[in-house]
């Protein structure tokens, strides 16, 4: 693709740090791992961080560490990448899907409460809700901060405390996002982040568990390393574990990226602001939603088509954009409609109209920190042309600023642009 869907931002610092790690002679379980975990915990605002080889692995360790398994249920969202459900299935727990909010695309706390009061009865012995139909125990809520926008964590934590439930935050798409001034990942019992190449911070492949609970931190550290406890011999395994370790090379890359975190977040917010400016006023699309008292960490820039029978039109738009050399993707197909879940559909939840509507209308446009004004404008021009051909939706009037003015002005203003992408030229 002439303009790819995503591209990692790798500079000389990253190359230098990885090269040092290669030359050190210690490629695994070395000093960079401990340093990366320590500095990441400080950035995230938690006491402990445990590096893993993927965000999926991090989510799995969260579930295992909380003792969630067969006979347990977890309320979550179907509008997500499959890892947020797979981590439950690995432990034979059952996901229970509830619908999302149409503007934010986040799990709806009201639907969580509705599902609990409708489908569960309080068990005094276990001090937890029991599903009236399946007899399984409700153990946790697993909210996903979709596309980097924080969920309503105050409402979710309130429900969890009321019904004695764990909270596992899937923050894999939301590093740097805040809700009421607190970083995502600090609200639940534990949380997971991911460092795939399209994320805000990349280690090529990698993830991180964060928690304030020393027991969870210690257990995840052991499970990550084949069940070894700290201080025990290399061939002593105190529990069944996994090889979810992150190498020194990956940690070196992560350390370099972490030092640039603010710069990377502001750059991504800058790109998002240009998109919002260029696409304002097009009636056939909805731009990314906002939520009060939150700061989004821009993972992707996703628009929604506003038309009847959106899916075939959306798919045609994507096909035509790709023909024009513009990378794009349909985010996300509902997890509960994935083929591998069809035979395990019991308990996964009812028809979810807002989840389905979002999945049929969303388009992820090219998005990365180093994206230029010219590239964004090329994508927007292609999108407007395609929408005009398919929907006869006239393009809005030009916004007025030339690419040169935007480039020069944005460089001068990046220092004051907030991470939510607001206030770019006063446009919000």
pLDDT of residue 397: 41
Surface-to-core class of residue 413, CB atoms within 10 Å of its CB (0-12 exposed, 13-18 middle, 19+ buried): middle
pLDDT of residue 346: 52
Query: In the block, which residue shows the tokens 């240009």?
Result: 274
Where helices occur in 142-207 by DSSP H, the ranges are 153-162
Residue 329: partners with Cβ closer than 8 Å, 6 or more residues away: 5, 318, 363, 364
pLDDT of residue 392: 76
> Is the Cα torsion angle 323, 324, 327, 330 positive or negative in sign?
negative
Identify the DSSP state of 168. Answer: E
pLDDT of residue 396: 54
pLDDT of residue 349: 53
pLDDT of residue 290: 87
Distance between CA atoms of residues 326 and 311, nearest Å: 19
Task: Walk along the chain (428 residues) and give the pLDDT tens digit of each residue.
Answer: 799 999 999 999 999 999 999 999 999 999 999 999 999 999 999 999 999 999 999 999 999 999 999 999 999 999 999 999 999 999 999 999 999 999 999 999 999 999 999 999 999 999 999 999 999 999 999 999 999 999 999 999 999 999 999 999 999 999 999 999 999 999 999 999 999 999 999 999 999 999 999 999 999 999 999 999 988 889 999 999 999 999 999 999 999 999 999 999 999 999 999 999 999 999 999 999 888 899 999 999 999 999 888 999 999 999 999 999 999 999 999 999 999 987 665 545 568 999 999 999 999 999 999 999 999 999 999 999 999 999 976 555 444 443 334 444 444 333 334 444 443 322 22
Cα 82–146–382 angle (5° rounding)? 100
Distance between CA atoms of residues 403 and 305, nearest Å: 26
pTM: 0.92
Residue 170: partners with Cβ closer than 8 Å, 6 or more residues away: 59, 80, 83, 84, 142, 143, 144, 145, 191, 192
Q: Cα separations (Å) of 19 from 205, 250, 252, 255?
A: 17, 11, 9, 13
pLDDT of residue 299: 98
């Amino acid at each position: 693709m002439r303009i790819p869907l995503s591209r990692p931002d790798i500079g000389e610092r990253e190359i230098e740090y990885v090269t040092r790690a290669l030359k050190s002679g210690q490629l695994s379980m070395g000093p960079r791992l401990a340093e990366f975990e320590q500095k990441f915990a400080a950035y995230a605002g938690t006491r402990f961080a445990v590096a893993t080889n993927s965000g999926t692995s991090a989510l799995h360790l969260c579930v295992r560490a909380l003792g969630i398994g067969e006979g347990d249920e977890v309320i979550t969202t179907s509008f997500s990448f499959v890892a947020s459900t797979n981590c439950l299935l690995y432990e034979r727990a059952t996901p229970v899907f509830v619908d999302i909010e149409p503007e934010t695309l986040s799990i709806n706390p009201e639907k969580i409460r509705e599902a609990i009061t409708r489908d569960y009865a309080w068990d005094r012995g276990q001090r937890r809700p029991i599903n009236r139909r399946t007899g399984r125990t409700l153990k946790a809520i697993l909210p996903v901060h979709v596309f980097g926008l924080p969920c309503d964590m105050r409402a979710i934590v309130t429900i969890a405390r009321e019904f004695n439930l764990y909270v596992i935050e899937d923050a894999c798409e939301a590093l740097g996002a805040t809700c009421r001034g607190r970083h995502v990942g600090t609200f639940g019992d534990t949380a997971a982040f991911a460092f795939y190449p399209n994320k805000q911070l990349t280690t090529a492949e990698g993830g991180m568990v964060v928690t304030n609970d020393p027991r969870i931190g210690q257990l995840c550290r052991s499970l990550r390393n084949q069940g070894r406890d700290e201080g025990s011999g290399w061939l002593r395994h105190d529990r069944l574990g996994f090889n979810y370790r992150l190498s020194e090379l990956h940690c070196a890359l992560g350390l370099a990226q972490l030092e640039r975190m603010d710069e990377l977040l502001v750059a991504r917010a800058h790109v998002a602001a240009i998109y919002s400016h260029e696409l304002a006023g097009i009636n056939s699309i909805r731009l990314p939603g906002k939520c009060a008292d939150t700061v989004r960490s821009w993972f992707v820039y996703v628009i929604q088509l506003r038309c009847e029978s959106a899916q075939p039109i959306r798919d045609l738009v994507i096909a035509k954009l790709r023909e024009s050399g513009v990378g794009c993707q349909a985010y996300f197909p509902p997890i509960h409609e994935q083929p591998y879940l069809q035979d395990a559909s019991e308990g996964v939840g009812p028809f979810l109209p807002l989840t389905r509507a979002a999945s049929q209308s969303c388009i992820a446009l090219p998005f990365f920190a180093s994206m230029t004004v010219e590239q964004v404008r090329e994508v927007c021009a292609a999108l407007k042309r395609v929408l005009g051909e398919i929907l006869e939706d006239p393009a809005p009037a030009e916004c007025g600023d030339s690419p040169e003015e935007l480039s020069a002005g944005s460089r001068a203003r990046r220092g004051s642009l907030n991470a939510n992408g607001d206030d770019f030229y006063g446009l919000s």
